[in-house]
Amino acid sequence: MKNLPKIAKVLLDLSLDRSFDYAVPPDIAGEIRVGMHVMVPFGKGAERAAFVVGFAETSPFPNLKAICSICQDNTSLPDSLIRLSEWMADYYCCARETAVRNLLPGAVRSGKVKQKTETWYFPADRDTVNRYMLDNPKAQGRCALLKVLLRNTRGMSAEQLLREAGCSVGVLKKLVSEKVVVTEERGVDRDPFKGADVLPTQPKEPSPEQAAALELIRHKLHDRKPDESHVVLLHGVTGSGKTEVYLQTIAEVLKAGGEAIVLVPEISLTQQTVERFRSRFGDQLSVLHSGLSDGERYDEWMKVQNGRVKIAVGARSALFAPFRHLALIVVDEEHDSSYKQSEAPRYNARDIAVVRGKFENALVILGSATPSVESYYNAETGKYALAKLTQRHDPSILMPEVTITDMRLESDGEGRIPFFSKGLIDAVWDRIRRGEQSIIFLNRRGYARQLSCPACGYIAMCQECSVALTYHKRSETLTCHFCGAAMSAPEVCPLCGSHEIRYQGNGTERIENTFKEIFKGARIARMDSDTMTRPSLYEKTLAAFRKGDLDILIGTQMIAKGLDFPNVTFVGVVNADMGLYTPGDFRAQEHAFQLLTQVSGRAGRGGIHGEVLIQTCAPFNSAIQFAAEHDYGSFFAEEIELRRELEYPPFNHVMLVHFRGADPEQVLLTAKKLMEKIRPVITPDTKVTEPAPAPVERIGGKYRFIALFMGTKLAGLRRAVKSAIYSEKHPGVDIYVDMDALSFL
Ligand code: ADP
Ligand code: ZN
Ligand code: ZN
């Protein structure tokens, strides 16, 4: 017999990056496991919840307190997930408690949300009921109700029972009080799909390319050798049928008794996406995303926890769905930057999917029309297997025709560049006339970029952040896109009183207004985070667009991804240059290429050939050119050489250490002290940029400094930084690490 554990290491919900030792009482020693949620005494008589993360034979601490009990709230986790969280705490340099907390949705963690219940009614035993009816022959209502119940011994809800018996609730209450009718509470799910019935669909006959991809995947699922890669990169152009490949792979996994997780970027987690999975797998599916109410989220998570579903579809955090027989993780649009979490743990779900897959021996499929440079490089060097879908599933549906318009040639006599080229306006008119639809894309919300005074040079800046405010016309406000501060927009320059004050640049709101003037009578809607403040608005606008109630949809990246509208035959990109030349953003080219390809992919998905028009002042930029030619291969070849030369990822890891606080001198001093502490472990091949003010120096009143490290082996450095952060207090200064940061900013 195995030795029973004597001492458990547990993590409390603190941020100390340390576990505590507790004695395991004999009555639970046989039952306790890693991952279990337990109650422990902590501080003055209080009990707190904690996760068991390991066991020990001895402890350096004398007189250990004992664990009180195992929580009965059904939130214990598989030990593989506990292991994953420890890995993340290490790699992303965050407290272990933070990493464990991240495994559970807030709604489950808080312990406040409970299973929803409904009262069900049953007859007491038959003798009692018969006796009662004989004793009360004149009570017609009560007798009728009891007769109905005797026919439904498996129980009924009050609503159903009263309807069938045709009597009032008072009758039921009386019978309950006389114990002739008994009640029982039953758990019911809060169903986020209530009323949304979907028609079942059958697997589609795979195209030759899909068949080849599925063949490779089947081999990986069933005959993979231990030293063989467990990751498949599925590179398929937009509309090539990647989703169909996921669906058939999931079916294969379920058949073999396995479970699957599908990650999609939050923004593409629309009803349309979910329905594609529901129509194939029905109730075997749980959906996890931020649009759910706490109660729904709790129920969806519990369905996984209790083994009632085999598939979880969701945004980033669905990666931690507590499956015990995980066989597949799909990361759709694997290049998407929303997979990187911006708070601790600052993990990238794409990368952690690969790690979880490794830990649990599950296959990982990374899918994209525009794979990240990292993933494609891994495929080229053989670390990942590669499957390609080069054609749309129906080869007669061609990739859209893309035109690049040089906006410098569109300027008027005085050198002013208009918002829209003649070509774009003509193309939209054409679509309106033909009853087809257009999408107009701009990567910036608001009306105008900033408010400035040509007389004195004044620019309206945020009081708390070192950025210019953005003008929003509808609300006549200036808002800060960093901290959310808002003020009303002035009519005259607050500095010199000039009436010449101007709004420069353009945003989605301004485009909408200009469009309404140009295309009189057209039905136009705008989708950005200013207008789409609730998920229901988002679904509503999309539904109107799908039905053909709108001619033109204007939006930010919210509309760039995943939408599949067959009647959209034109996509206009207002300003493709935006963000191309941000200093410190070494992925600017990659992001521009991805975004343009994604947006273009919205055109011509039905039978009619799509057209895309890209307005730019940098027509020879290679990201724009390669996107226009749908040429990922050439884009990658050029980009990877550049990265190699500059030693950027994937040739090095980027690690940022952020420092922030209200007093800039104190922040810098803390930063310098930390640097001195870690300097001895920095290897000679690691590039170091000493702590310097961040490009946006101040956000929300806090000064920010960043130190940058680039290298191939940063494990030693990570450990040293983490120990420097957690081994002492840094009053007034927050320090955190952003490992594999997406940019240098
Ligand atoms: P992707 O995910 O690569 O953008 P989708 O999976 O959305 O592509 O496929 C685009 C369209 O093609 C969808 O309407 C889908 O139903 C259809 N489709 C995909 N594969 C097939 C197939 N083998 N036979 C018929 N239609 C298919
Ligand atoms: Zn002025
Ligand atoms: Zn601000």
Q: Which two tokens mark 626?
A: 């390669």
Q: Which residue has the higher pLDDT, 645 or 475?
A: 645
Average pLDDT over the chain reads: 88
Determine the pLDDT at residue 486.
Answer: 85
338 HSE (CA, 13 A, CB side): 17
Q: Which residue has the tokens 């930084």?
A: 721
Least confident of 21-30, 211-220, 692-701: 692-701
Q: Kindly indicate the confidence band of residue 580, based on its pLDDT and cuts at 50, 70 and 90.
A: low
Q: Which residues line ligand 1 (CB under 6 A)?
A: 204-207, 210, 236, 238-244, 393, 564
Position in ligand 1 atom list of the atom nearest CA 243: 6
Q: What is the pLDDT of residue 528?
A: 78
| Ligand 1 mutation target, pool 204, 242, 244, most atoms within 8 A of CB | 244
Q: Which atom of ligand 1 is nearest to the CA of 210?
A: 23
473 CA to centre of ligand 2 in angstroms: 20
Q: What pLDDT digit, counting tens, does each position of 323-382 carry?
A: 999 999 999 999 999 999 999 999 999 999 999 999 999 999 999 999 999 999 999 999
Under the banding of pLDDT at 50, 70 and 90, the label for residue 292 is confident
pLDDT attached to residue 697: 85
* CA 492 to ligand 2 centroid distance, Å: 8
Ligand 1 atom showing the smallest separation from residue 238 Cα? 4
Ligand 1 centroid – CA 539 distance (Å)? 22
SS3 of residue 496 by DSSP: coil
Ligand 2 centre distance from Cα of residue 452 (Å): 8
The ligand whose atoms approach the alpha carbon of 500 most closely is 2
- Ligand 3 centre and the CA of 556: distance in Å? 21
Using CA atoms, how far residue 600 sits from 244, 604, 728, in Å, is: 21, 9, 51
How far, in Å, from the CA of 459 to the mean position of ligand 2? 9
Alpha-carbon distance 66 to 44, whole Å? 14
Q: Distance between CA 9 and CA 78 in Å, rounded?
A: 16
User: Ligand 1: which of 272, 393, 397, 567 to mutate, judged by most atoms within 8 Å of the beta carbon?
Assistant: 393
CA–centroid distance, residue 634 to ligand 3 (Å): 40
Cα–Cα separations (whole angstroms), residue 238 to 9, 76, 205, 556, 612: 49, 40, 19, 19, 14
- Closest ligand to 454 CA? 2
pLDDT digit string (tens) for 693-723? 887 888 889 999 999 999 998 999 999 999 9
Distance 701 CA to ligand 3 centre (A): 8
Atom of ligand 1 nearest to the CA of 237: 3
Task: Give the model's pLDDT for residue 103.
Answer: 94
Q: How far is CA 122 from the centre of its chain?
A: 45
Q: Indicate yes or no: pTM above 0.95.
A: no
Q: Which of 199, 243, 399, 599 to mutate to test the pocket of ligand 1 (most atoms within 8 A of CB)?
A: 243
Taking the CA of residue 601 as reference, the ligand 1 atom at the shortest distance is 4
| DSSP per residue, 11-33 | EESSSSS--EEEE--HHHHTT--
Nearest ligand to the C-alpha atom of residue 234? 1
Do 242 and 234 meet the contact criterion of CB atoms below 8 Å apart?
A: yes
pLDDT of amino acid 576: 81
pLDDT tens digits along 37-90: 999 998 887 888 899 999 999 999 988 999 999 988 888 899 999 999 999 999
Residue closest via CA to ligand 1's atom 4 equals 239
Distance 488 CA to ligand 3 centre (A): 14
Query: Measured from the CA of 369, which atom of ligand 1 is nearest?
Result: 3
Closest residue CA from atom 23 of ligand 1: 206
Sign of CA dihedral 280, 286, 290, 293: positive
**Mean pLDDT value across residues 575-580:** 72
Task: Give percent above pLDDT 90 in the chain.
Answer: 54
**Residue 461 per-residue DSSP state:** B
